[in-house]
Amino acid sequence: MSTQDLPQIYLITPNVIDIKSFPEELSRILDTVDVACLRLSLSSSNEDKIARTVDAVREVAHERDIALVIEKHTLLVNRLGLDGVHLMDGGRNLRQLRQDLGKDAILGAFCSTSRHAGLNAGEAGADYISFGPIAGSALGDGDQVNPELLEWWSEMIEIPVVVEGGITEELIRSLSDKVDFFAIGPEIWEAEEPVAKLKSLSAALNG
């Protein structure tokens, strides 16, 4: 596999962000490891707090030409200058969202372990499908993605596929020919040195 065919890193933020310190930490990470997309995964439901967090993170991402999407909060995409939304419900209402947000918005759909949900979201216009968890993780209902689903998808479907949840160096090496993006978040934020951990995971892309 050539380097041009290698999957890319899709980075997920922590659920809680300190906007005083996180932009600097994020800058170090993005200047060290190539990241294709950044996803805001915020537990807060306070619109003002979310907006202030988006402002801090958006500047860091867009300075480096990295797309920034947010989980769930579709009404904030255009208002806050985001590039798109990551839907957690398999992409319900995706066709309407495409009309509302426009053809240039990135619409991603988390479809857990369901091929059927992935196909439905793809037919509705999703730009990418995310499956997970691939290993032990709190995502979804405890089910894990069967690697055979990823292999089938890579052979049969052109819509890019993201895999997330429990990513390790070993999984990256074994799945690199089956996915387009590895979504990495808790794997590095829970580590003592997030930059070093992401560098190690990224290095596994090269086998």
Q: What is the pLDDT of residue 5?
A: 79
DSSP 8-state secondary structure symbol assigned to residue 78: T
Give the total number of structural domains in the chain: 1
Note down the domain range covering 191: 3-206
CATH number for 102: 3.20.20.70
Q: What is the pLDDT of residue 2?
A: 30
DSSP code per residue over 8-20: EEEEE--SS--TT
Q: What is the pLDDT of residue 141?
A: 64
- The pairs formed by 110-118 with CB atoms below 8 angstroms and a separation of 24 or more are 110/86, 110/164, 112/139, 112/140, 112/141, 112/143, 113/140, 113/143, 113/144, 113/145, 113/146, 113/149, 114/90, 115/149, 115/152, 115/153, 117/90, 117/91, 118/90, 118/153, 118/157, 118/161
> pLDDT in tens for each of the 207 residues of the chain?
233 479 999 999 999 999 999 999 999 999 999 999 999 999 999 999 999 999 999 999 999 999 999 999 999 999 999 999 999 998 889 999 999 999 999 999 999 999 999 999 999 999 999 999 998 655 556 689 999 999 999 999 999 999 999 999 999 999 999 999 999 999 999 999 999 999 999 999 987
